[in-house]
Every structure is written in structure tokens, then in C-alpha cells.
A and B are shown apart, each in its own frame.
Chain A
Amino acid sequence: MTSTGQPPSLKRRDAPLTKEGDQLTITPLGAGNEVGRSCVYMTYKSKTVLFDCGIHPAYSGMAALPYFDEIDPSTIDVLLITHFHLDHAASLPYFLEKTTFRGRVFMTHATKAIYKLLLTDYVKVSKVSVEDMLFDEQDIGRSMDKIEVIDFHQTVEVNGIKFWCYTAGHVLGAAMFMVDIAGVRVLYTGDYSREEDRHLRAAELPQFSPDICVIESTYGVQLHQPRHIREKRFTDVIHSTVSQGGRVLIPAFALGRAQELLLILDEYWSSHPELHNVPIYYASPLAKKCMAVYQTYILSMNERIRTQFANSNPFKFKHISPLNSIEEFSDVGPSVVMASPGGLQSGLSRQLFDKWCSDKKNSCVIPGYVVEGTLAKTIINEPKEVTLMNGLMAPLNMQVHYISFSAHADYAQTSTFLKELMPPNIILVHGEANEMGRLKQKLITEFTDGNTKIITPKNCQSVEMYFSSEKMAKTIGRLAEKTPDVGETVSGVLVKKGFTYQIMAPDDLHIFSQLSTANITQRITIPFTGAFGVIKHRLEQIYESVESSTDEESGVPTLRVHDSVTVKQDSDRHISLHWTSDPISDMVSDSIVALVLNISREIPKVVVESEAIKTEEENGKKAEKVIHALLVSLFGDVKLGDNGKLMVSVDGNVAHLDKQSGDVESENEGLKERVKTAFRRIQSAVNPIPLSSS
């Protein structure tokens, strides 16, 4: 990987030299130059890993899926899910149940626990709007059985693919995966944040630098305000709105950042008693269900929350009450409502928005990243009018504030993260095309040494890289007693397990591996009544080394042939052969068996001859047929004439052929000679050895 600024085409030309197996391909099937439906496909050394399996929240049905038809799901070994958000995990039930995928799926404990609740909710919500459901609740249930859990830092190995995960900070249970295939490391960050907040830890910095870093670029070159300033703006907006008698709508996705905002609000309310008469509602039954998960997996959270947990559960809010539906909501006086979905596409947040948008006392706080194409994105630009759900236009008078709490890395975090890691290859995903482009340009100016390549593939656009991995082997055991000098030879068994190689002597195989060796001793008895000396004589004609001795136990004579097979006269009627299996000994023994049988055959001659006669007759008939057929092919019209002669007629000339003697009678000399020669040749082909000599 030393191509300093060479165009990629040069790389391609090298390709045929390196082996196919050294090519590492990364293809975003989703989230390439877009935000949503994260799905990155990676293959190296015929091992295949898929990162994330999301849907695009702005589309519905099949259109929301990543481009799964670009790949063969059955070839994927491992599927790793970074966190539970829909754009990272929601196509998983589809992928597990409706495709040929047979690999293993991993996610963290907390992710798995929330995944089920979240998707069940997603199915319920989208049932109303979408006809072509991608999956149903049964599919989710079945997918749960297939998902395996992995703890942070735990190293798992599947088919020689090693992987482990680091805290990503984005939401509860969010992970960054490091995959190690044959020593090439790829880090997939998923969504990550390097800033510690109220309940989550900051993303860890892996202690190994990866060869490739697939990193999110949601916020491109933007910079976040410091946390306390954002929190202050957030609480100030809410405080001033409610104190003026307005209502605050916070459209937020039910899980993840919402918990953080609730922690902020609950704390703020606790320290401001004057606000106690203003209710805060949290309209998400789903989040209520997930609270058990938040209360359980405190180990995935930061020290702060664990400290609080020691005293009381910080997720038992004192000032926030749940709200199940808009019917329950009595809209009198100021209030703060946090409702999903975050994009204001439909549901409760939209209902409230429609209700409140024309009053300028009200405000709407958009607390996180909003996807292109949603209403939330539209109102950030503060249009004069908006379209309500019932299709009517209404003036947008409420104040719209965009205060980002979404735990994605900003430019400062991204660049320091990458500078610490110094990966030679950076692949940007999960970012809107313009943002991504700007980020790329800015990163290029930062990494001026030129050794870092920054790539922004579009969906289905493959990035190919070559890693000429050196294969190292460890020679161990008896074979390694002496380190050899240059020019000496090394012979042994090469054992490959996963991507590690060992060379060892065959005798050591059972010590260093679970393999064992075997010796197969064969003993075969053959009936033989003749003299043992005959066998010895015949063997000596074939083999160079025939040693005779006597068996120590029984005193019977033995022969050792070719130093591998022992022939022993067991009794007057039998001899036995033994040897240890290997291809050469097997061959030697087979020849001895044949030889012994031949000797035996010569003695009872009658049997042999009768057989021979029979075959001779058969042979004769066969030969005649063959002769006839060959003559036909040569001369065309060949008939069996009277007195057993063959009539060959060519262009009106006729030749008579006597099959026994080979005499040919014909008026045409030319034909006569040709038939004669043909017959002689046929004869010599059919009966190569004249019968008389036998």
C-alpha cells in the first residue's frame, strides 16, 4: 500500500499479479452518500462480513431496503449490528427470514433487548401506512432466536473472522466493530460520539490502528456547540415558552436521545420549583417498555449514571408523566410534550404539530439530526406555510428551534479520532452527499502526508483494496529443534487453522493440534499349497530386495519384500501378508497377491484351459465381427458369400476373401491387392500375436 497519490487505475493494473484472495472489497449497500439504511458489505479472503442492516426512514416498503440484490446473502459469514436504530437494524428480520442468509448475527445485549421492542412497534406503526410489509411480528420473534450477543471487548471468532466491539457512545448499547481477517483490520464505527453525556460513555479509542476505517460522516464539517451551551439553549427555550403560556413540542425518536433529553428536563424541573405546575409528557409507550432495559444495562453507561444508580434509579423520572395517545391529552395551558416520530412524518408528534403550528406562542424544538425529505427537515428552514396531514395549508407561526443533541461525532471529533487512529484508508459513509464531500476535502487538507486515502463510495460502488498479506508460519516441535540455514530443506506437515499456519513433524501432530495420526496394519491370508520357495524365486525375479528369515515365534519362514511387506507361510495351505498401509506398500502387496495367485493358477491346469477355450471361441466370433465391420468401413459393400468367403464389391469389381487363409480372389488386381493388405492389417490388429505361437 505504498501508492502515494497514484490514480486508482494503476492499482488495478497490479491486480492480476496479486492473488484474487488478497483483494479486499468494501461496498456500501446503503448509507453510501446518504443517511439511512446503513449496510456495508465487506469481503476479503473469501470471508464476508456485513455491517448493519437498516432501512431508509424516508421510504417505505422494498424501496427502504438496502440494495441486497447486489450480493448473495448465502455467502455472508457474519452480520454485525452496531445499534438498535431503525436505520441500522430494521431490515434485519427481513434479511434473516426472507433471504438465503445463513450466517451468524451479533449485537450487544442492550441492542438485542431494545431491538425487539422497537421493531415490534415499527411494525405496528407502519401497518397503517404500508401495504407491502417487509416482515411481521413473527419474523421478528424468529429473528430473535438467531441473534447472538456479544459483550463489549469480547473477542469472537467465526470461520477465522475475529471481531470485537468498542463502546460507540451514540445510544445505549451502541458499538463500533473491529473485524480482523487474516491480520487485516477494519473498523466500522456505526454512529458514534466522542462526547460523554448524561448517561452514555464517549466512544472509545481502539488500541489498535485499523487498516481501513469505515466512519460515519453525518455532521460533515459542522461543529457542535459545547454540551452545556446546548443544554442551556434547550432549557431556556422551553422555560421561556412555557412561562409565556406556550406549548413546547419536542419531536424525538422514542429511544436513544430521548432518554438523554428526559434526564435533562427532569433535572431542570427539579431545580426550578416554579415550573412544577407545567406538566412534561412523554408520549411513548414504547419508551416505557424499554425503561426496564435502561435500568438493567447500567454497565454500558457511564460512571455518572452508575453512581446515581447506587442511590436511586435516575431513569425513574419525577416530573415526567407518560402519555399514551392524543385522546388522553388535555390540552389546557402550557405543557412540554416529547413525542415520536422525530421526523414529524406521522403519529403523535405530527398530530400535535398540526394542532400547535399556527400559534406563535408555541415552539417546536428539534433535538437531533433530521433526515432529508421529512417535515422536520422542511420546517428547520422556517417556511411561511406548511401542509397539514389532512392536506390543508396552515401558516407556520410557532417558533422552530434546532438544537442538536444527536450523539454523532462532529468535525472536531471525527478529525481527532482519525488522527489518533491514523488509518491508511478511510471510507466515509452515513452522510448526505454534500456534507460528505466537504468532509472529504477538509480531511484531505488535514492528512497532507498523502498516505491516507479517503474514499466516499456511493451505494453499490465497490472500493477495492489489495493487502498482500504475508503468510507467517511457526515451525514448532521436533522439526524446530534446530533453526535451519539458508538453502536447507524443511519438510513437514503444514497445518492451517483459521489464518494461522504451523509446520510440524508428523509425529508432533497430536501434540500441537487436535488431529491424530494412525497406522493401519493390514494382514491378508491367501490360500497357497505350493512350495514357499517358489514364491521366493518368483519374487526375486521382480523385486530387488527380498530378505528371507524365519519368524521368531512360530519358526515359519518369512520373506520381507521391498522392506515393507512381510510374507509368511502360516500353514501348508495358507500364506499371509502383512504390511503397514501406505501407497507403495499397498502396491507391492497387490503385486505379491497377483503373483501368488498366478502360481496357484498354474497347477490345476484343466480348469484354466477350459476357460481359455471358451474365451478363444468368443474371441473368434468377436474377431470376425470386427473384421467384417472394418471391411465395411473400408470398402462399403461387403457380403458374406457362399463357402464362408466374404464378397467385397467395389465399383462392379468383386473380390472373394477367404477369412481363414487370407487368400483373395479377384479379377481386378488392384482391388485384390488392396483387400489383401487391408485384411492383413486388420488381422494383425485383431490378433496381434499369431495363434500358432501360443
Chain B
Amino acid sequence: MGTSVQVTPLCGVYNENPLSYLVSIDGFNFLIDCGWNDLFDPSLLQPLSRVASTVDAVLLSHSDTLHLGALPYAMKQFGLSAPFYSTEPVHRLGLLTMYDHYLSRKQVSDFDLFSLDDIDAAFQSITRLTYSQNYHLSGKGEGIVIAPHVAGHLLGGTVWKITKDGEDVIYAVDFNRRKEKHLNGTVLESFVRPAVLITDAYNALNNQPPKPQRERDRDFVGGGNVLLPVDTAGRVLELLLVLEENWSLKSLNFPIYFVTYVSASTIDYVKSFLEWMSDAIAKSFETSRDNAFLLKNIKLLTSKSELDSVSDGPKVILASMASLEAGFSHDIFVEWAADVKNLVLFTERGQFGTLARMLQADPPPKAVKVTMSGRVPLTGEELIAYEEEQNRLKKEEALKASLIKEEESKASLATDVNSSDPMVIDTHNKHPSLDGLGQHGSRFRDVLIDGFVPPSSSVAPMFPFYDNTSDWDDFGEVINPDDYVIKDEDMDQGAMRTGGDMDGKLDEGSASLILDTTPSKVISNELTVQVKSSLVYMDYEGRSDGRSVKSILAHVAPLKLVLVHGSAEATEHLKQHCLKHVCPHVYAPQIEETIDVTSDLCAYKVQLSEKLMSNVLFKKLGDYEIAWVDAEVGKTENDMLSLLPISTPAPPHKSVVVGDLKMADFKQFLASKGVKVEFAAGALRCGEYVTLRKVGVASQKGGGSGTQQIIIEGPLCEDYYKIREYLYSQFYLL
């Protein structure tokens, strides 16, 4: 009877690879997360490529590469075309993260896995939801309701709840229970007994040190610089706020710089995401209209040149990427690593196999090999060669174009029906180019020149003239209905298009990179960097640690639990733990292994007749009201089962004692009634003689009996009955 649920991991199980999972609910395939690592290794996406076309909807949970990095690539290469769902910040910051990645890569390599247009295209089709919005899917997914909930960790971070027929499937990775400066803690704990919970084992073996230790106080040893490799738009927000506050409090005047290709627009957007942030931030805005992200102490830089012009002297730089594989952080690291005065401060564990991860090893490596690449303008012979090549291309093209035009003009003179525009044909000429971007300008020039190439048939140069002859049929001119569609929408469309393109609000630096027409090439050289600067790791990753993950899991107590994302040891550890303390059904599937977590729940619906309900007396117990019913099954007119009052006397039933006794609470309760109570040898001694004990505590919520066993014993005396009376008052008897 239950809803069928299957989970197939596509990436990121038994290791810390990016996350990507296929969850199929009654045949409707959700792709939850679509991550890639900072190395952009296409081999990781093999499993995804095989199923991409069958995906019906994509849910994104966080805005970093590990959760959505492969989206543009998958859209382009694998034909992933399902609708996407995410929260507004995940959409927006995810877009910026991808821009930053692309620009960082493009700067140093001929990166061609995806382009900015691919990123834009991928993010255009997203449906944005707000937290706790119940979104009813239609069509194939009829009856399925999806709802994002607060996850903590990153701005807009989402715990997805997928509901069908009252059964919940919850996907919760990288959640954070702790309330932070800019984020509220997760609401995962408010879900109780979902049918399936998919969660990560990433932090199962990590336990955070207590908070005071984490409070940073950074000394500047002898005027060194501090580099914090950060992500583009995720955890960095929290760090910015922490630094901003510290700097204001202690009135430090070392400059802080936040350097990514998109830092300015990141902060601009983040300023308008107050709805998604913590209550404290919302409140401070409501009362004083102080936007927390109006950063006073932090300067935003978006290009290398700006960074170079920064004055010397001790400073703090937050730069992307966190992995040190690319971006500003990579360059700065190489530059600074050799100086003992400098400090590299990691705030989260680096992705597996990246430079950051290598440096976080214990003990840190003395020297690391890095590849320095850069885009340099062509000079000397190369430039000449390039220009020649360009010229050759241009000539070829011009020749080709003129040939075509010749034909065309002939054609048009012969009033043959061909009204196409030369421009169109021109664009069909694909240039085999060294640098697609650099081509832009020259091609444009070609077009201009093209226009003035005299048709061979004409005597003198003249503007090309093409007769737009129209088709005639028996009814007169052929009417193309499209011509008459009112183009009212067009303006808006156009505005939105530009909007879409300009969404990223590319900062000047990056814009210049894209529009850069100077011919350039990528040079790489491998060099070994002596790591002399100090390396410090401070945990600011904003995920719940092992202990709190376990306690959350025990609280949520899913009927079935699926573990993903985490090293093999961590996964195994958490699996064993959960088998013992959470529920008997714990799964940790391998990549592409489909597991069936369909609940074996039986259920049917009945109508409660008015007559029956008028005889039912509810007892209130917290949020619940409970009652015992004995009823006879009947049918309503529309063939529904209904419950009617029973005609024969109800059969006796074993009485049910409902309630949850907490010994400590009960002790207080008794004390308040004037009974002398104390704990002795695991039992509660009440008064002189009576003892109260709880045996076989139901630690395993999901399985076992789940019934508390309470033993009260004592000699026959008045106290005994009194205490029994108090004990009964803690329960409801049905």
C-alpha cells in the first residue's frame, strides 16, 4: 500500500565526492543535487550521464559546487532538461559560484567544459521556492508535494521534504543545528518519524571543540599576511560577518579584502536576502534598518589588478576557491607560502584530492607542487603569427562571403526567392579559432566590410540591395501568422533576456576578461612551492558535528535511513551507530546501487461517522488528543469505508497506558508534593520504603517494543498508594 521509494546514488557515497542522488517516488525521478568537485573531473559524472534523460525534476540543496556544480555540464552534455527547484539564494549564489569558477578557470586555462552561456541557460529554468512552501507537482508527479526547509550551513540551504500520501521522504545533507550569525539553525528536528531520511555521514567522526575555543583571535605575527581560502558565496558570508564584527569591536585597522570575480555582486545580492537569514539580522534591519551586509571594514575586490594595487603591510584576504585549485586563492597562496610570517587559515576541510586537502594533512607537507598558469597577451612572433592567422581567416571568410554574396545577388537579380540576410549567412561561418572570445571583434568587422563588397555584377560599389520578394499563392500574398502576432511581450522578453545575461552583474574585471579582444594564450609552468607560512585550520564549516548529527537522527527517528556522502569509515561508523540507536533499517548503498526503501506500512482510509465521534472522549496529551475507539465498519454512499458505533457491547481490551515518564521530572513532581525523593542505585527512592525503577529503557526508538517498563515496589503502606497515585497521574489510561 505504501508509496514506492527507491534511492540510487550517482556520486558521493563512501567518499567525499560531490553529491548527486536519484530518488524515485512512485516512478517519478527526482535528481537531488547535481554536484561536481573543484577539479571538474568528468569521470565523476558517468553515472549521471546514464540517467540524466529519465530525470523528472531536480532539487538543489546548497549553492556550492559540491551540490550544483555539474548542472550546466549535465544540461549541455547529458540532455538533462527537467525542471529545477531551489530557493532563491541557492539559485542566485549558485549562479555566482559557477561564474566565479568559470572565470577563475578561464583565466588560467582553456576551460571548455561549459561556458557562461551554459551556466545562464542552466539557471534560467529554475523554479524558486521559499522555505516551508508546499509546492504541488503536477502532471506525472501529481500528488507529490515538495517543500524546502531551513538547513543552516549555507544561505538558502535546504532540507528537502517530499511528501506523497502522507509519507515523508526527507533529504537532509550538510545541515547545521547551531544558530549562526547570519543563519538560523536547521528545522530538521521538527520532523518526526519520516518514512525515509536520506542524510550524510560526512561529519560522523568529527566532533567540534567547544565553542570558546573556536572564537578566533588572530595575532599578526610580525606583520604577516593572512589568507583565508573561501568559497564564492557560501560560508564566506559567515566569515565576513565574524570578521566585520571582530574588527569593529576591537577597532583593528588591518585591511580585509574579499576577492572573487563576483564579490561585489555577491554582496549586493546577499543584502537583499534578509528574509532568508537569521532572526537577529532580520530584527536589526526592522528596528534600525541596518543591513548586516553593509560591510564597513571589508573591501571587495574583483580583479587581479585591483588586488595588485593594494598597499603592502599586514592584511587579511579572503579569496576563492576554498580548494586552492584555482582562483585568486591559488595565486595568492603561491605568492605567500614561502614567507614564514604569513598565515593560511583554513575554515573548512578541503575537498578530497585538492591542494587545500594536501595542506591540511598532518604534518603539513614541506613543499607542494603547483601549476601556475596564466593568460598572457601574445607578443613578438606569436602575435605576428596570430595576426597572420587571423588575417588569413578573415580573407578566407571574406572570399567565401563574397562568393556567397555573388551567388546570392545573382539569385536575387534573377528574382529567385531568397530573402535571407547576408548577416545570417555570415554567422554560419564557424571560425576555427584559437580563442573564441578574441574572434568576436574581428568577425564583426568582417560583417561591416562585407556590406561594402561590391557585387561582381555591379559596376561600382553600392549598397547591396536585396529585393524582398513575397510569395503569392492563389489567395494572394502568403501570410505568415507570426508577422502579425502582437509583439507586446517582446519588450519584456528582451528586458528579461538582458536581465538574464546581466544577472551576474559581471564585475568590470571579469567583464573585461570576457570582452577581452587582445589575443592571448595560456602558459603553464609547474613549480614547487616551499610551504613556510603557518597553516591553521579552524572549523567554520557550519555543519553539525558527529555528536549532534547522532542526536538529531535519534530525535527524528526515521523509519528508514539512507546514508550517503562521507568517507567509508564515517559511513560505516554512523551506520553501526544508527542500527543500534536509531532504527533497524539503515542503508548505505554503493554508487548506482538502487535500494528500495518503500515503506512496508499498511494503511487504509476510513471515514469517521458523526455518530461515532459524538461518543468519543478525547484526552489531551501535548499536541495530541487520543481516545480508544471500538467501531464497526460500514460503507458510505460513495463506497468509502466508514466507522460506525459498535452495535454489540465492545469487547474488553488490554488497557493502554500512554505517556512518557522522565524520572528526573517525576522526581521534581514528587518533591513538589512533599515526598522525600532521591536517586539511589539507578532507582528513585520515594519516601521511606517505596522505590521506582525504569528497566530496559527503550533506546532503540524505531524497533523493539518501544514500551517503557516501570517498576514500583514497596511494602504495604500508605505511602505506596500515594506514590502510585502520583505515578498514575503522569499517564493516561485508555
Binding site for B on A (CB under 8 A): 19, 109, 112-113, 116, 144, 149, 151-156, 164, 207, 289, 292-293, 295-299, 303-304, 306-307, 309-311, 470-478, 480-481, 483-498, 501, 503, 506-507, 509-527, 581-583, 593, 597
A147 to nearest B CB, angstroms?
A: 9
Measured CA separation A516–B622 after assembly (Å): 12
Known: A112-B286, A514-B192. A491 touches B629 (CB 8 A): yes
CB-contact partner of A582 in B136, B605, B616, B654, under 8 A: B654
Known: A491-B628, A511-B702, A524-B714. A581 touches B657 (CB 8 A): yes
Measured CA separation A84–B604 after assembly (Å): 46
CB-contact partner of B706 in A293, A472, A511, under 8 A: A511
Q: Is B39 an interface residue (CB 8 A)?
A: no
B194 to nearest A CB, angstroms?
A: 11
Check if B657 sits within 8 Å of A519, measured CB to CB.
Answer: yes
Check if A304 sits within 8 Å of B604, measured CB to CB.
Answer: no
Closest to B724 in A: A522
CB-contact partner of A516 in B286, B618, B658, under 8 A: B658
Check if A517 sits within 8 Å of B273, measured CB to CB.
Answer: no
Contacts of A156 in B (CB 8 A): 132
Known: A297-B274, A306-B499, A310-B505. A520 touches B657 (CB 8 A): yes
Check if A515 sits within 8 Å of B712, measured CB to CB.
Answer: no
Check if A489 sits within 8 Å of B646, measured CB to CB.
Answer: yes
Say which one of B238-246, B533-541, B726-734 lies at the interface with A: B726-734
Q: Is B590 an interface residue (CB 8 A)?
A: no
User: Can you sample 18 A-B contacts with CB below 8 Å?
Assistant: A109-B274, A109-B282, A299-B88, A473-B608, A473-B643, A475-B605, A480-B602, A491-B630, A494-B618, A495-B625, A512-B193, A513-B192, A515-B621, A516-B708, A520-B710, A523-B714, A524-B720, A582-B733
Known: A307-B496, A503-B606, A519-B709. A493 touches B632 (CB 8 A): no
- Considering only residues 125-151 of chain B, those with a C-beta below 8 Å from chain A are 129-136, 147
Check if B626 sits within 8 Å of A490, measured CB to CB.
Answer: no
Measured CA separation A252–B271 after assembly (Å): 29
Contacts of B495 in A (CB 8 A): 303-304, 307
Known: A310-B265, A520-B728, A525-B715. 4 other contacts (CB 8 A): A472-B605, A491-B653, A493-B626, A516-B659
Check if B605 sits within 8 Å of A296, measured CB to CB.
Answer: no
A285 to nearest B CB, angstroms?
A: 13
Contacts of A292 in B (CB 8 A): 289, 291
Measured CA separation A528–B677 after assembly (Å): 28
A77 to nearest B CB, angstroms?
A: 14
Known: A471-B607, A525-B716. A517 touches B656 (CB 8 A): yes
Q: Is B679 an interface residue (CB 8 A)?
A: no
Measured CA separation A593–B651 after assembly (Å): 29
Interface core residue of B286, B621, B654, B715 (most chain A CB under 10 Å): B286
Check if A490 sits within 8 Å of B133, measured CB to CB.
Answer: no
CB-contact partner of B623 in A293, A474, A488, A497, under 8 A: A497
Known: A296-B271, A483-B604. A144 touches B286 (CB 8 A): yes
Measured CA separation A483–B131 after assembly (Å): 37
Contacts of A496 in B (CB 8 A): 618, 624-627
B658 to nearest A CB, angstroms?
A: 6
CB-contact partner of B608 in A295, A471, A483, A513, under 8 A: A471
Check if A516 sits within 8 Å of B133, measured CB to CB.
Answer: no
Contacts of A478 in B (CB 8 A): 602
**Chain A contact residues: helix, strand, loop or mixed:** mixed
Check if A489 sits within 8 Å of B132, measured CB to CB.
Answer: no
Known: A292-B291, A491-B631. A154 touches B130 (CB 8 A): yes
Check if B733 sits within 8 Å of A510, measured CB to CB.
Answer: no
Check if A510 sits within 8 Å of B624, measured CB to CB.
Answer: no
CB-contact partner of B273 in A299, A501, A507, under 8 A: A299
- Considering only residues 485-534 of chain B, those with a C-beta below 8 Å from chain A are 492, 495-496, 498-499, 502-503, 505
Contacts of A491 in B (CB 8 A): 628-631, 650-651, 653
Check if A516 sits within 8 Å of B660, measured CB to CB.
Answer: yes
Known: A153-B129, A296-B272, A299-B273. A493 touches B492 (CB 8 A): no
Measured CA separation A484–B630 after assembly (Å): 13
Measured CA separation A164–B145 after assembly (Å): 15
Check if B708 sits within 8 Å of A494, measured CB to CB.
Answer: no
B354 to nearest A CB, angstroms?
A: 32
Closest to A526 in B: B716
Check if B627 sits within 8 Å of A523, measured CB to CB.
Answer: no
Q: Is B565 an interface residue (CB 8 A)?
A: no
Interface range on chain B: under 10, 10 to 19, 20 to 34, or 35 or more? 35 or more
Say which one of B5-13, B216-224, B633-641 lies at the interface with A: B633-641
Check if A304 sits within 8 Å of B603, measured CB to CB.
Answer: no
CB-contact partner of A506 in B282, B499, B622, B656, under 8 A: B656
Check if A154 sits within 8 Å of B132, measured CB to CB.
Answer: yes
Q: Is B287 an interface residue (CB 8 A)?
A: yes
A478 to nearest B CB, angstroms?
A: 8
Q: Which 3 A-B pairs have the closest CB atoms?
A: A307-B499, A523-B713, A510-B706
Check if A524 sits within 8 Å of B274, measured CB to CB.
Answer: no
Check if A474 sits within 8 Å of B166, measured CB to CB.
Answer: yes
Measured CA separation A519–B733 after assembly (Å): 11
Contacts of A498 in B (CB 8 A): 623
Check if B734 sits within 8 Å of A470, measured CB to CB.
Answer: no
Measured CA separation A577–B615 after assembly (Å): 37
Check if A299 sits within 8 Å of B602, measured CB to CB.
Answer: no
Contacts of A583 in B (CB 8 A): 655, 733
CB-contact partner of A474 in B604, B613, B724, under 8 A: B604
Contacts of A527 in B (CB 8 A): 715-716
- Considering only residues 147-170 of chain B, those with a C-beta below 8 Å from chain A are 147, 166
Measured CA separation A567–B661 after assembly (Å): 27
Measured CA separation A478–B627 after assembly (Å): 18
Closest to B636 in A: A470
Measured CA separation A489–B632 after assembly (Å): 4
A2 to nearest B CB, angstroms?
A: 14
Check if B133 sits within 8 Å of A520, measured CB to CB.
Answer: no
- Considering only residues 270-287 of chain B, those with a C-beta below 8 Å from chain A are 271-275, 282, 285-287
A111 to nearest B CB, angstroms?
A: 10
Contacts of A289 in B (CB 8 A): 289
Measured CA separation A492–B498 after assembly (Å): 62
Check if B275 sits within 8 Å of A481, measured CB to CB.
Answer: no
Measured CA separation A470–B640 after assembly (Å): 11
Q: Is B698 an interface residue (CB 8 A)?
A: yes
Measured CA separation A298–B727 after assembly (Å): 57
Measured CA separation A473–B659 after assembly (Å): 22
Measured CA separation A272–B88 after assembly (Å): 37
Contacts of B707 in A (CB 8 A): 507, 510, 516-519
A23 to nearest B CB, angstroms?
A: 14
Check if A475 sits within 8 Å of B601, measured CB to CB.
Answer: no
Check if A521 sits within 8 Å of B287, measured CB to CB.
Answer: no
Interface core residue of A19, A164, A307 (most chain B CB under 10 Å): A307
Check if A296 sits within 8 Å of B291, measured CB to CB.
Answer: yes
Contacts of B625 in A (CB 8 A): 495-497
Check if A144 sits within 8 Å of B624, measured CB to CB.
Answer: no
Measured CA separation A516–B709 after assembly (Å): 11
A466 to nearest B CB, angstroms?
A: 13
Q: Is B559 an interface residue (CB 8 A)?
A: yes
Contacts of B88 in A (CB 8 A): 299
Q: Is B711 an interface residue (CB 8 A)?
A: yes
- The contact string, 1 if C-beta is below 8 Å from chain A, for chain B 374-385, is 000000000000
Interface core residue of A309, A488, A513 (most chain B CB under 10 Å): A513
Contacts of B624 in A (CB 8 A): 495-497, 513-515
A589 to nearest B CB, angstroms?
A: 10
B99 to nearest A CB, angstroms?
A: 13
Contacts of A207 in B (CB 8 A): 136
Contacts of A112 in B (CB 8 A): 286
CB-contact partner of B710 in A149, A296, A489, A518, under 8 A: A518
Closest to B657 in A: A518
Measured CA separation A19–B654 after assembly (Å): 32
Measured CA separation A506–B732 after assembly (Å): 13
Contacts of B621 in A (CB 8 A): 515
